Amino acid sequence: MRLDKKTQIFKNLKAPKKVFDECWRLIPENMVKRLNCNDLTEYLIRHILPTVSRRLVQTNAYSVKPTIRREIAVA
């Protein structure tokens, strides 16, 4: 049974479905056609996943571990 690229990458990435769908939307279509599964997974891990995961943590108001925010003290 041969899996399509999207399912193979989802299995290799081991990320939640919501995060994977967000990452998949940001990949250009010509890259999906041109690259093989391993290269596409590597591209997702290095370039897209860090930005998506950071954005999801910052937008989640009810997160268990809130992001650390720097407070600027005015003297």
**Exposure letters 23-32 (e unless 16+ CB within 10 A, then b):** bbeebeeeee
pLDDT, mean over the chain: 78
pLDDT value of residue 34: 92
In tens, the pLDDT along 49-63 reads 888 877 766 665 565
Kindly report the pTM of this predicted structure. Answer: 0.65
* Domain assignment of residue 30, yes or no: yes
* Domain assignment of residue 39, yes or no: yes
pLDDT value of residue 49: 86
Q: Which of 40, 31, 32 is nearest to 12 (CA)?
A: 40
* Domain assignment of residue 72, yes or no: no
The Cβ-side half-sphere exposure at 6, using a 13 Å CA radius, reads 9
Total domain count for the chain?
1
In tens, the pLDDT along 25-51 reads 988 999 989 999 999 999 998 988 888
* Domain assignment of residue 49, yes or no: yes
Domain encompassing residue 44: 5-59
CA distances to 13, 21, 32 from 29, rounded to whole Å, are 19, 14, 5
Phi, psi values for residue 35, rounded to 5°: -85, 155
* Domain assignment of residue 65, yes or no: no
